[in-house]
Structure 1
């Protein structure tokens, strides 16, 4: 199975560690010693498990996620060349004068990147992703600031998050370099991206979260699909209690397969994503060192077709048409 991102980043890990929970609360309070300890423990565990790709965004815990990662990077004197750091920009929080909004203006993209670099204490990002679609996006303006950031050595490659294939195609028409990544909500719980293909043409189809064909478009154009929310917040692995009959049934299948394959429940949930031919790169966001250790077990197995469908049908809560 071709893993698209390794065409440009040959040493990138198959799993990404998502840093959205690092740094503590989502407010302007300083980073506490407890939050710093939890962040360092999670990052140390991720590195020990062979994860070298770290996903940030300028908004995560109001910048504290990047700040505490930068402190970790400096304190541990890590070889920057062995890490893949990506961050996202484009979401602006509401304040006293403005509503929450998206902003792909050149000035905002540039200022966001430069602030992220300061917090991360690094000279460059391996990847910059536009966080959510901005209806006012001007592709030529975005392409120009991308080019300038790349020429200045501040960003090496670019991608997007939460974009459908027409938006990708529109942006790519202006951006000279191939867009490398599209980060989407994808998990055993959020399986709409599978439903979109299975139920094509059916009026009673799935609750579509992004345009049908996005997964296939990314496959055709060697755009790395990254799955945020890949563990479904522990829904099937003990992190939170199932609420519906389908969720309970799926959790039971996950536990049974974990016993059959002799791996963790987290690994079964991730293995379901990894089994898809799109070569999905899961982003895991747990702060728990034990759960982080459990995730790479998914790389050692390949679910059978029967087991993949068993999980899918259980999660959708009804038989396939």
Structure 2
């Protein structure tokens, strides 16, 4: 498995991350199997959130991990806090951050989280409270690293004014179809297309400048959560291009789509949410594919973009 060096963080983080949002659909034995398969193929980085299955995803992982024979030191566990769907709000208050981390530790059956991300912006957050929470979590040994998820540039800057710990991750949506994180730079000053609209405030380049590792979620999806573009009749040109490269590299189309993300010089991680061991093994082959400069653009243009 390809690894990346995270500035001020883990020095060998798996480039492919297993997102555990769908784990509640598995039995404990099935969850243990996907964890074992992931670790066997070098996917030792597991992404959670307190809202996934209303906490059931973390609970299932915690129950299953004990059946794997793996040691805690062999894996990297990340969770995200701040989404409170039961209350219809986002909450980055000190009290909520601390309580949710404790909930995660209990459900995951571990004494620490390797990283905690603030999960989407709290519109009325107080950075002083976040800083106090992070200090307490670090000093207690409950959390090693910190970051954010779906958070724009200026909110990161505001956090950094108060938070002592480096913010080393930003989890953002990115796929061949949902590539707005990249697109706007290409179409700058072009009033003939809506793709010139800056929807991300330069977040990609900001993260590169400040050594924040981007974790790309839904790397095979189109829309927000509308489905996969792999084999979708909505994307014939993209699937044709994916198949050509899949044939060349002797991997699947899904692996090529993941390789497209890993090829970006920002050295991102790609989060796969599959709970199918065979599909996971298939996706892991992306780690062995190094697309050329031309092939990266070939896929980008096949996804519906054009050169101005």
TM-score normalized by structure 2? 0.93
Mean alpha-carbon deviation: is it higher for 197-206 or for 45-54?
Answer: 197-206
Shift of 1:10: 2.1
What are the superposed Cα offsets for residues 18-46 of structure 1, whole Å, 9 maximum, x if unpaired? Answer: 0000012xxxxxxxxx5334322222211
**Residue 236 of structure 1 contacts residue 254 of structure 1 at CA under 8 Å; is this kept in 2?**
no
C-alpha change, 1:2 and 1:62, in structure 2 (3 Å) is closer
> 2:216 maps to what in 1?
227
> 2:144 maps to what in 1?
156
Shift of 1:76: 2.4
The 5-angstrom pairing of residues 283-298 of structure 1 reads 283-298=271-286
> 1:28 maps to what in 2?
none
What are the superposed Cα offsets for residues 143-194 of structure 1, whole Å, 9 maximum, x if unpaired? Answer: 1110011101111110000011111111111111110100000111111111
**Residue 89 of structure 1 pairs with residue 90 of structure 2:** no
Q: Secondary structure at 2:79's aligned position in 1?
A: strand
**Residue 319 of structure 1 pairs with residue 306 of structure 2:** yes
C-alpha change, 1:207 and 1:47, in structure 2 (3 Å) is farther
**Residue 90 of structure 1 contacts residue 108 of structure 1 at CA under 8 Å; is this kept in 2?**
yes
Greater fraction of residues in strand: 2
Q: Secondary structure at 1:312's aligned position in 2?
A: helix
The 5-angstrom pairing of residues 52-201 of structure 1 reads 52-94=44-86, 98=87, 100-201=88-189
The 1-side partners of 2:172 and 2:109 are apart by 27
> 1:242 maps to what in 2?
233
The 2-side partners of 1:134 and 1:256 are apart by 43
**Residue 41 of structure 1 pairs with residue 33 of structure 2:** yes
**Residue 218 of structure 1 pairs with residue 207 of structure 2:** yes
The 2-side partners of 1:275 and 1:108 are apart by 37
What are the superposed Cα offsets for residues 252-297 of structure 1, whole Å, 9 maximum, x if unpaired? Answer: 1101110012112111001110111110100010111111001121
The 2-side partners of 1:121 and 1:314 are apart by 45
**Residue 236 of structure 1 contacts residue 269 of structure 1 at CA under 8 Å; is this kept in 2?**
no
* CA RMSD, Structure 1 to Structure 2 (Å): 1.9
**Residue 32 of structure 2 contacts residue 67 of structure 2 at CA under 8 Å; is this kept in 1?**
no
**Residue 235 of structure 1 contacts residue 251 of structure 1 at CA under 8 Å; is this kept in 2?**
no
Where does the alignment leave 5 or more consecutive residues of structure 1 unmatched? 25-33
> 2:13 maps to what in 1?
12
**Residue 79 of structure 2 contacts residue 117 of structure 2 at CA under 8 Å; is this kept in 1?**
yes
**Residue 81 of structure 2 contacts residue 118 of structure 2 at CA under 8 Å; is this kept in 1?**
yes
TM-score normalized by structure 1? 0.89
Where does the alignment leave 5 or more consecutive residues of structure 2 unmatched? none
**Residue 235 of structure 1 contacts residue 242 of structure 1 at CA under 8 Å; is this kept in 2?**
no
Mean alpha-carbon deviation: is it higher for 38-47 or for 1-10?
Answer: 1-10
Q: Secondary structure at 2:43's aligned position in 1?
A: coil
Shift of 1:207: 7.6
Q: Secondary structure at 1:157's aligned position in 2?
A: strand
**Residue 17 of structure 2 contacts residue 271 of structure 2 at CA under 8 Å; is this kept in 1?**
yes
> 1:205 maps to what in 2?
194
C-alpha change, 1:156 and 1:210, in structure 2 (3 Å) is farther
Shift of 1:47: 1.2
